[in-house]
Amino acid sequence: MVPPDLIVGATPVPMILGFVLLMTSSRPLVIVAMVILGIADGAQLTALFAIRHRESEEDGTRSQVFITGSSLKITAASLGIALAGHLGPSSLRLALTAAGVAQLAAPAVYGILS
């Protein structure tokens, strides 16, 4: 079994590849990109739940950890969508590049916070 910490740290790499493939105009490559992004995102979310479960205590704080973590994730996603909404109409490539840079920064931020 792969440790969830390794999965969270490693999944940004295939996600960046997926964003790069999305920049192509090839329909088959865009489909491959979506499959890669879906698998990586699913693995990352599952690993994140495992880490939250492992790091929180059973005394009632576990639900608070999950709710706070989910709230932060939804807030960050909303901010990302707002940014993409401004970048998308002017340049789809710029929006996808920003998403890739965010994924590139994720392991560094994870390392700092853990």
Give dist(CA 34, CA 4) in Å, integer.
Answer: 22
pLDDT, position 33: 95
Q: Is residue 112's pLDDT more than 90?
A: no
Average of pLDDT values for 60-81?
A: 89
The chain-wide mean pLDDT, for the chain, equals: 88
How high is the pLDDT of residue 80?
85
What is residue 25's predicted lDDT score, i.e. its pLDDT?
Answer: 79
How far apart (Å, rounded) are the C-alpha atoms in residues 13 and 42? 14
Output the pLDDT for position 21. 92
For residue 114, the model assigns a pLDDT of: 67
Cβ(106)–Cβ(12) below 8 Å: yes
Rounded-to-integer distance, Cα 85 and Cα 66, Å: 28
Structure tokens at 113: 């916070």
Q: What's the whole-model pTM score?
A: 0.79
- CA dist., res. 87 & res. 107, Å (int): 24
Q: How many domains in the chain?
A: 1
DSSP 2: -
Task: Say how many residues make up the chain.
Answer: 114
- Say how far apart CA 14 and CA 90 lie, in whole Å: 26
Query: pLDDT tens, 12-51?
Result: 899 999 989 988 879 999 999 999 999 999 999 999 999 9
Residue 59: give the domain boundaries: 4-113
Q: Of all residues in the chain, what percent carry a pLDDT higher than 90?
A: 36
